[in-house]
């Protein structure tokens, strides 16, 4: 085996992907060629350093205990079997409440915004940048969302921005300003105004003439408002009045 043939197979050799016979031929060549031997040694050092670093890390016992506990059979079945009369009664009461409560329609945007805000509250997502919109982000959003959306943030006292990011709320791109007010996390989601076409129920409410529309979004309060070319949505675990104030303080930056 010559130098070129040996070097061509260097990665496969170091990854133990070669047949024994070929590996043996390489080893024979390395015994006689100091240049190749040095190169193989160097590459092996590189592999070891990278692999050693990448594979560093501990197992988190609490994570795996929680995962494993979800797999234990019978946990739910036994529970349900023994409490089925109670479960049936709860179901009857629940259906009765549904029947008698006034029929209201929730905005579909509320559920999507809630999911995103919950991810922020639980620190699953966080800001990606602060200050001007990075060029790469602006290029990726070209034709879908203008960069002015990232500057539509509440000017009300008490609101502090922590940074910004792009999110796709029900596949619609939104500039998201993540901040807090009175120590409570606040998400401000800014869409192109035409995003309303994707949220027909929201469109109906917003088009009703109210300057700001409020709704519950799970455990959060949501306020939606049209600001110039944008649809602004503020969501937080604050009072309806406070969230409404935040939404009303967003200025048109277009």
CB of 226 to another protein, least distance (A): 24
59 scored as a contact of another protein (CB under 8 A): yes
Minimum CB distance to another protein smaller for 163 or for 173: 173
Q: Could you tell me the sign of the dihedral formed by the alpha carbons of 78, 82, 88, 89, in that order?
A: negative
15 scored as a contact of another protein (CB under 8 A): yes
User: Pick from 56, 103, 136, 139: which binds another protein (CB under 8 A)?
Assistant: 56
- The secondary structure of 98-154 as a DSSP string is HHHS------HHHHHHHHHHHHHHTTSS---B-SSPPHHHHHHHTTT--GGGGG--B
Burial of 253 (0-12, 13-18, 19+ CB in 10 A): middle
User: Pick from 2, 24, 28, 64: which binds another protein (CB under 8 A)?
Assistant: 64
Query: Can you tell me the distance from the alpha carbon of 162 to that of 183, in angstroms, rounded to the nearest whole number?
Result: 12
211 scored as a contact of another protein (CB under 8 A): no
Site string for another protein, 98-137 (x = CB under 8 A): -------------------------xxxx-----------
139 scored as a contact of another protein (CB under 8 A): no
Segment near another protein (CB under 8 A), from 23-31, 163-171, 227-235, 237-245?
163-171
> What burial letters (b/e) apply to 52-79, b meaning 16+ CB within 10 Å?
eeeeeeeeeeeeeeeeeeeeeeeeeeee
User: Pick from 28, 31, 45, 82: which binds another protein (CB under 8 A)?
Assistant: 45
Residues binding another protein (CB under 8 A): 4, 7-8, 10-12, 15, 17, 35, 38-39, 41-43, 45-51, 53-60, 63-64, 66-68, 70-74, 77, 123-126, 165-168, 173
């Amino acid at each position: 085996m010559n130098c070129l043939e040996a070097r061509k197979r260097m990665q496969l050799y170091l990854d133990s992907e070669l047949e024994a016979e070929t590996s043996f031929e390489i080893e024979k060549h390395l015994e006689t060629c100091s240049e190749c031997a040095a190169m193989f040694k160097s590459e092996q050092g590189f592999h070891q350093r990278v692999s050693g670093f990448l594979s560093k890390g501990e197992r988190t016992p609490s994570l795996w205990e929680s995962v494993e506990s979800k797999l234990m059979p019978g946990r739910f079945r036994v529970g349900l079997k023994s409490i089925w009369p109670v479960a049936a009664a709860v179901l009857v009461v629940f259906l009765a409440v549904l029947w008698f409560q006034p029929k209201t329609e929730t905005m579909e945007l509320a559920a999507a915004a809630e999911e995103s805000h919950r991810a922020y509250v639980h620190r699953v997502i966080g800001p990606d940048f602060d200050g001007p919109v990075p060029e790469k982000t602006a290029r990726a959003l070209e034709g879908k969302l203008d960069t002015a959306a990232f500057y539509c943030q509440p000017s009300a006292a008490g609101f502090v921005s922590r940074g910004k990011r792009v999110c796709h709320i029900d596949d619609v791109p939104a500039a998201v300003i993540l901040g807090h007010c009175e120590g409570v996390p606040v998400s401000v989601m800014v869409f192109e105004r035409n995003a309303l076409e994707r949220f027909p129920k929201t469109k109906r409410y917003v088009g009703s003439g109210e300057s700001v529309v409020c709704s519950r979004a799970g455990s959060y309060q949501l306020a939606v408002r049209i600001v110039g070319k944008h649809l602004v949505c503020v969501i937080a675990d604050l009072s309806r009045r406070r969230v409404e104030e935040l939404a009303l303080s967003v200025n048109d930056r277009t």
